[in-house]
Amino acid sequence: MSRRLRSHDWFGRKDKDGIIYRSWMKNQGMPTDMFDGRPVIGICNTFSELTPCNAHFRDHAEAVKRGVLEAGGFPVEFPIMSLGETLLKPTAMLFRNLASMDAEESIRGNPIDGVVLLTGCDKTTPSTVMGAASVGLPTIVVPGGPMLNGRYKGQTIGSGTHVWKFDEDMKTGKMTQEECEYAESCMSRSIGHCMTMGTASTMAVMVESLGLTLSGASAIPAADSRKKVMAQLSGRRIVEMVKENLTIDKILTREAFENAIKVNAAVGGSSNFIIHLAAIAGRIGVDLKLDDFDAIGSKIPLLLNLMPSGKYLMEDFYYAGGLPVILNELKKELHQNVITVTGKNHQENIVGTTDNYNADVIAAYNKPFIPEAGIVVVKGNLAENGAVIKPSAATPALMKHTGRAVVFESIEDYHARVDDPELDIDENCVMVLKYVGPVGYPGMPEVGNMALPKKILQKGIKDMVRISDGRMSGTAYGTAVLHVSPESAIGGALALVQNGDMIELNVEKRLLHLHVSDEELAKRRAAWALPKPAATRGYVSMYIKHVMGADKGADLDFLQGSSGSEVTRDSH
């Protein structure tokens, strides 16, 4: 390899600065020949015991190091902010952009020639990929893997998806508190992230479909020894990527993004996929609009029978053949000339690994579980910039519905009144939740799949139309219209909805319409006041001032594009 690596600007120096850069690294017991010009590989570790999905990443990092050393590289592990979806308040989404900045500056500012991203829980994948994309080095992703299937009283249960069911059962008296606590243990019984096709699994599939992982990486359970094998092989491969100068921008092309949109539809991926893929596209300079997700993906058939759109879980997906089978079934829909981290395209990568071992888990393209399953974008006077709905997790009968609005002015208002027996609501109403968007909450939490009122559940009703400017968990289900943009906190029409207004949802016509005259809306707007910001200092204040709309990926406006990898000044 004749090309001089960027790490040479640290370790190859023959002056005072070179002494500093090498000497302090040697206190870890590194011999002098480690600084002989071999590729330095950064292992970006999102390990944290406060991120349960990523708590096993110390072992994965060691496996990656073995691979790097075997290939003649110099592995260095570094931490960044870890975003645990289940614990972090007010929402991990608020800090996705902050973690991306942490990843970006850590990668750029250090003597790294290539980077391995250890990802798992929902936001750890997009945040690290966003950061890496803004630097532009050779990059490979090692997904942490899903938990093993949950089992409770002889039944298969899925993380997240069954949370909503258990909550309903508790409200209606079908489950006791003691039974729920036992079921909790049965649901989360191994290392790994959600084993449903929630956002974590969706993100793993996303990076594999984008070409950022080794083939087959997304579905291997975290507890399976083959996950460590994949990590070790990834460590070997990143060294070769550095030698080939196979940078992330050569992989993340427009065609790769289009492939990912189609694959996401085929697996019934989370609606959060939209907001994260759009943010990554903004960092790499690919022009990806909200309407593209509908135009490219909404007609793709559902080929994967996984919760919440189906009945199986990620462990079953892996045993059935994993994503290579899906890629093979979709081959006529996908761009074939898209390079991946292997230096080859998907079809070359999956040769010999396309057998489907369970047709009840993975369907053939011409015999899908649902003919059209991709996420749909609806627009109208209630969502001028668009809103999204996931038909595969919704009720078909509600895809065309007009109902009376029952409005909750905040998440606190919702919690205070939703189970009030006097609440004027029936199953034909449309539940509306305001001020839970990027600016309003702040951070756009996963509250859009509002639990139905107790008195509705007691009638045996399981679904209603729900509208908000927030998100919902990828593990969730229901007829939820999400990501309404412009959001209510900046004066979007959602802020003007009142109890009793009639709202029309027509998914086939891509319509979300508030049946209120323009004159009346203008009158309401004149009386509306901009809410006080949720914070006036620190990162949250900066976030509120600079976050873009959900239709643009909710990234910070000043993070669009990239700054490259060059650092021209030394530290001493």
Q: What is the pLDDT of residues 502-547, one digit of tens each?
A: 999 999 999 999 999 999 999 999 999 999 999 999 999 999 999 9
In the chain, where the domains are located: 1-37, 38-148+190-350, 151-186, 376-532
Is it the case that residue 320 has pLDDT exceeding 90? yes
Listed in sequence order, the residues at least 6 apart from 55 whose beta carbon sits closer than 8 Å to its beta carbon are 47, 48, 49, 191
Q: Which fold has domain 376-532?
A: Glucose Oxidase; domain 1 (3.50.30)
Q: Tokens 């997906």, residue?
A: 317
Whole-number percent of the chain with pLDDT over 90: 94
Whole-number percent of the chain with pLDDT over 70: 100
Q: How far apart are CA 55 and CA 187, in angstroms?
A: 17
Q: How far apart are CA 549 and CA 486, in angstroms?
A: 7
38-148+190-350 and 376-532 share one fold: no
Is it the case that residue 339 has pLDDT exceeding 80? yes
Say what the pLDDT of residue 477 is. 87
For 68, 86, 87, 92, 381, the CA distances from 122, given in Å and listed in that order, are: 26, 10, 12, 9, 32
Nearest to 141 by CA among 267, 48, 248: 248
CATH architecture assigned to 38-148+190-350? 3-Layer(aba) Sandwich (3.40)
Which ranges of 46-145 would DSSP assign to H, the alpha helix?
57-70, 96-109, 124-133
How many H helices and E strands in the chain?
A: 20, 14
Q: What is the pLDDT of residues 358-417, one digit of tens each?
A: 999 999 999 999 999 899 999 999 999 999 999 988 999 999 999 999 999 999 999 999
- For the entire predicted model, the pTM comes to 0.96
Q: What is the pLDDT of residues 488-503, one digit of tens each?
A: 999 999 999 999 999 9
Is it the case that residue 2 has pLDDT exceeding 80? no
* Widest distance between CA atoms in the chain: 78
Q: How far apart are CA 162 and CA 150, in angstroms?
A: 10
Mean pLDDT of the chain: 96
Q: How far apart are CA 448 and CA 494, in angstroms?
A: 13
Query: Residue 396 corresponds to which tokens in the numbers above?
Result: 């078909």
φ/ψ (deg, to 5) at 447 = -120, 5
Contact 276, 128 (CB under 8 A): no
Say what the pLDDT of residue 1 is. 59
Q: For the CA atoms of the chain, what is the radius of gyration?
A: 24
CA 323 to chain centre: 17
Q: State the average pLDDT over residues 465-469.
A: 98
Q: State the average pLDDT over residues 470-494.
A: 95
Is it the case that residue 116 has pLDDT exceeding 80? yes
Contact 374, 382 (CB under 8 A): no
